[in-house]
A and B are shown apart, each in its own frame.
Chain A
Amino acid sequence: MIEFRDVQYRVGGISILKDINLTIPDGVFAAIIGPNGAGKSTLIKLLLGMQDPSEGKILIDDSPRDSWLKHNGFGYLPQREEYDRGFPATALDIVLMGIAGRIPWGRRVGDEHRERALSIMQDTGIIDKAHSPIGNLSGGEFQRVMLSRAILSDSKYLILDEPEAGIDRHSVVSFFKLLKELNDAGKTVITVSHDLHTLNKYSNFLICLNKTLHCHDHSELIDQQLIDKTFDEHTRLIEKDY
């Protein structure tokens, strides 16, 4: 279970996230929606420990975030990953990053890890490129690599920041089906997405965010009114700010 308690996040006096009170129960397929700049990625980075809240608390499985992170990790797919195209790594190497933290020092990645990584890459449809240098991958291909890595990390939480970005229309559905399978197998999935149409079918917990929360609940259907409210607020913010 993930809880945000009165979380505020400010950068240089500017409020980016405000009054976030949120409980995400285990086992849900949660979708975070909101317009560009709403703070979706920031919310995720706070959860992952990549940034610290200015105020408030984040609890994971009833422990404070930092103490939970000492013994556990998240499966994470970032919205953007900075890397050097000339870096001497193959797609498989990057997927194996998901498990490297659990292999003791001095030990190499074993065949059993490699096999598991390859079987996940089969599921995400990137097995053909397993031995390609990362510099040769397209955006959508790299996205599949990052999804494989998140899955390989074997966390009970899968946190995905726009996983469908760069994925062709046809594959988006199989992407979400795969996530749903993982969810059915017991993983809590939390995904940021702009694909409201597809989300509607798979997600069962909606988080509407636009600097502050507009909804966070089990909802079988995405409510058009809530969406309007989430996205309208943004329009008003723009008018106010500029």
Chain B
Amino acid sequence: MPGFIIVALIGAILSGISLAVFAPYVTLRRISYMGEALSHIAFAGIAIALISGMNLTLGAWIFVSIVALLISWLSRKEKIQEANTITIFLSLSMALGIILISLSKNYAFDLSSYLFGNVLLISISEVWALGILNVLNILFILIFYKELFYLSYNPEMAKVFRIRATFIDYLFYLLLAANIVLNLKSAGIILVTAQLILPAVIAFNLASRLGWIILISAIAAVLSALIGFYLSFVFDLPTGATIVIVQASMYALSFIFKRRK
């Protein structure tokens, strides 16, 4: 196997795991639209970075983090229709991004690679970054396991019972932003959104304790990366899309084993 394929495979696995451990929380908190929203918003961040000559990933992360924290703060401050506000943010950022990119006349910038992603283009340094991100994710979940559990259950009551939900909520959104931005290049907007939902819903069908759900979600991500990679080479298919098809099939299969509740 050529080296770049091994790098890409490791990248796909790490990318899958990083999104999969967040996916159960995203689903439980009913913020699965955040995956889509933040990856669109990242697009505007990339455009701004492109114009100002900043590192694209860093620029996008800073931009997405600011927006994510703003959304977290707003939704706690006001009982706003979170989904509505975010959809407005989303369209606005996307429009801004497209205008900025067209103004920058940077034709070398490959727009479609950010929409659909290409895991085969992932660099070794990006794989390292994903590895570090995975360590941060797992540490975050281990350290704040009970806090995240109750925050996902009901943030208002968590606060009453003196669980420091606000601080952890900010950290959660910062890490979520980092996960989305770092995965954007390899997975693209559409696949990031899918990978923030599918592994979790598979796991919810198979387990009823949160610890197991997170583990199964991660395993589902690894398996689908391996199977998806293999199939994409055998049948010469786009890798990311194949991974999502595999995940969706696993989701359908998981209903057979669904625990009777």
Contacts and interface: CB of A to CB of B under 8 A. Distances in A.
Interface of A: 48-50, 73-74, 76, 78, 81-84, 86-89, 93-94, 97-98, 100-103, 105-106, 108-109, 133, 135-136, 149, 153
B233 interface: no
Q: 10 closest pairs, A vs B, by CB? A: A101-B162, A73-B162, A101-B163, A106-B143, A101-B161, A100-B146, A88-B210, A97-B150, A76-B160, A88-B208
Interface stretch (B32-40, B130-138, B151-159): B151-159
A149 to B, nearest CB: 8
Interface string B91-119: 00000000000000000000000000000
Given A89-B149, A97-B158, A103-B146, A135 B213 contact: no
B209 to A, nearest CB: 6
A215 to B, nearest CB: 28
B234 to A, nearest CB: 37
24 contacts: A76-B160, A83-B153, A83-B154, A84-B30, A86-B261, A87-B152, A87-B153, A88-B204, A88-B209, A94-B153, A97-B150, A97-B153, A98-B161, A100-B147, A100-B161, A101-B162, A102-B162, A105-B143, A105-B147, A108-B145, A108-B146, A133-B208, A135-B261, A136-B261
A240 to B, nearest CB: 28
B144 A105 contact: yes
Contacts of B142: 106
B93 to A, nearest CB: 29
A89 B150 CA distance: 10
Contacts of A78: 157
Given A81-B154, A83-B153, A48 B147 contact: no
Contacts of B207: 88
Give the residue among B144, B156, B162, B208 with the most A Cβ atoms within 10 A: B162
Given A82-B154, A105-B143, A105-B144, A93 B160 contact: no
Contacts of B31: none
A153 B204 contact: no
Nearest to A105: B143
Contacts of A88: 28, 204, 207-210, 213
Nearest to B212: A88
Interface of B: 28, 30, 142-147, 149-150, 152-154, 156-164, 204, 207-210, 213, 261
A21 to B, nearest CB: 25
A81 B157 CA distance: 8
A48 B160 contact: yes
Nearest to B157: A81
A81 B153 CA distance: 10
Contacts of A50: 156, 159-160
A81 B154 CA distance: 8
Contacts of B146: 100, 103, 108-109
Nearest to B24: A88
Give the residue among B146, B150, B159 with the most A Cβ atoms within 10 A: B146
A82 B158 CA distance: 12
B13 to A, nearest CB: 25
B157 A97 contact: yes
A74 B149 contact: no
A82 B213 CA distance: 22
Given A48-B160, A50-B156, A153-B161, A84 B28 contact: yes
A230 B152 CA distance: 40
A105 B171 CA distance: 14
Contacts of A100: 146-147, 150, 161, 163
Given A89-B153, A100-B146, A105-B143, A73 B261 contact: no
A97 B28 contact: no
A116 to B, nearest CB: 15
A105 B204 CA distance: 26
Nearest to A136: B261
Nearest to B213: A88
B204 A86 contact: yes
Contacts of A81: 154, 157
A35 to B, nearest CB: 25
Given A97-B150, A102-B162, A153-B161, 16 more contacts: A50-B160, A73-B160, A82-B156, A83-B154, A86-B204, A86-B261, A87-B153, A94-B153, A97-B157, A97-B161, A97-B163, A101-B161, A101-B164, A105-B143, A133-B261, A136-B261
A98 B158 CA distance: 9
Given A81-B157, A106-B143, A87 B150 contact: no
